[in-house]
Structure 1
Amino acid sequence: MGTPQGEPSLYTVEIDGDTFEDCPALRVHYAYGPPLLGEGRVEIRGITVTQPPATGDDDQDQAPDRGLDEVAVRQVTAAWRRIEAWLREHAPASYGSLKAGASVEEIAALEAALGLRIPADLKALWSLHAGVRDVRGAGFLLDNRALMDLDAVVAFYRMQMMFQQRSRSDEDPTWRPSWIPFCSYGVDDRSSGLYLDSTTGELGYFSRYAEHWAEYASLTVYLEEFADALEAPVLVTGARPGLAGGALVWGPPNYPDPDHPWVEYTG
């Protein structure tokens, strides 16, 4: 499809009037043209695997495609490294909140506790950092959310599944078994956040009021938008990155901290 530029998962291709068509089994997410790219150029930012329709009542879950998993791992790792490098340089308080990565054994134990296979992209994220400590600056993800640790993931998932079983509503479920929460409003505040749908790869929003909707096409898209906002803040249209006492805060904040005034980061 093109010539590799840097990371093996990132390609730049010339557009010569030919139709750009996605493979039927994949959903390709790409950026096109100015201001970040040259005229007539496109960068593939992420690839989401679409689920084929069932062919029978007895179909079982298909085995993951190892090649696609490797692509997802590379993409998530590359995007997160960009974020981490920015935090290290500009927001030491937020960088210092990061916990160590989870081991293979810890992630396997999480899969057993949830009773489902964790997608490769989410495994990659947690293997880099399995949550944050409850310190100032920990809520540095987009919209000032915090990365959940594995114990919090299990506890919240089980609670949501219990609520779903009690409601017995299949038409408008409060929670689906395939939804894996990974970030929340605060380190100890689960009133809202994001989950990854292990069936579709999409990221969705949840709240305490049983609200839920799709927000991002994949974890890769989410992390790359995050990294792009830090590296090119002039292009941000929503909440803007800023610094407050060495922490990354998306703002302007609704409730400014007088001890740590917010200063917009402009690059």
Structure 2
Amino acid sequence: MAGADRAAVAAAAIGRIDTWLQQHAPRARAALRPPASEPDLEAAQEAVGQPLPPDLRAWWLHADGAHLGLQTDVGWLIPPGFMPYPIAEALKSRSLWMDVARKIAPLDHWDDFVNSENNRPAGTDCETWLPAWLPVATNHGGGNLFVDLRGGPKNGCVMEFYRAGDVLAQWEDVADMLDDIADRLEENEAEIDDLGRINWP
């Protein structure tokens, strides 16, 4: 999907999600932060050394993630159980995972290994965190959703990463993720408990 199309799909899905949250889960809607600033977006782009996909920009320009401390009050905004990162927290998480990767990798081969894996096509599995991976959401239990900014036809795909090194494909891109969330909300897949928290069966 072309960049402009990805941004348009993301914007339409964001509107649908926002309408649903306002009608059915206002506490979850209130957990979203104000839009990200251009300096925030530039910091993310500089950290990964890659342009941010237009659908990711559209998402962060709508809301700079969520107030993460409110997860116990509002549930999970992204299935199966993730909360969107603010950019600053996304960059902290990325730095942490990179530090962990350096500690467990053979130091004499680290640079060669990272360069080799970082130059493989987006969507290719790797058991350690790579510089071109940008976290976008957390499950607060050692799991992250990340956008794979390596090259290739799957550039911008959204994948899951867990502390054990498991990597699972999820969505083609952020636009696909947001469109899927909007569909699932409108199809009443999300469960709202008595306290107004979102859960995904």
- State whether TM-score is above 0.5: yes
Tell which structure's C-alpha radius of gyration is larger.
1
**Aligned-pair CA distance for 1:149:** 0.8
Name the structure where helix makes up a greater proportion of residues. Answer: 2
Q: Which residue of the partner structure matches residue 225 of structure 1?
A: 180
Gapped regions of structure 2 (runs ≥ 5): 118-125
Deviations 1:177-222 (A, max 9, x none): 211110110xxx2511211111322111101111112122222221
Q: RMSD of the TM alignment (CA)?
A: 1.8
Indicate whether 1:74 and 2:8 are aligned. yes
Q: Which residue of the partner structure matches residue 142 of structure 2?
A: 191
Indicate whether 1:117 and 2:51 are aligned. yes
TM-score (norm 2): 0.80
Higher relative contact order (CA 8 A, sep 6+): 2
| AA matched with 1:84 | D
Structure-2 separation of matches of 1:246 and 1:213? 29
**Aligned-pair CA distance for 1:90:** 0.5
| AA matched with 2:138 | S
Name the structure where strand makes up a greater proportion of residues. Answer: 1
Structure-1 separation of matches of 2:144 and 2:97? 13
Q: Which runs of 4+ in 1 moved over 4 A?
A: none
SS of the equivalent of 1:130 reads coil
TM-score (norm 1): 0.61
Contact 1:139/1:147, CA 8 A, preserved across alignment = no
Identify if the C-alpha distance between structure 1 residues 97 and 138 changes in structure 2 by more than 3 Å, giving closer, same or farther. Answer: farther
SS of the equivalent of 1:195 reads strand
Indicate whether 1:210 and 2:160 are aligned. no
* Percent of aligned pairs sharing the same letter: 23
Indicate whether 1:146 and 2:95 are aligned. no
Q: Which residue of the partner structure matches residue 28 of structure 1?
A: none
Identify if the C-alpha distance between structure 1 residues 130 and 138 changes in structure 2 by more than 3 Å, giving closer, same or farther. Answer: farther
Structure-2 separation of matches of 1:220 and 1:110? 18
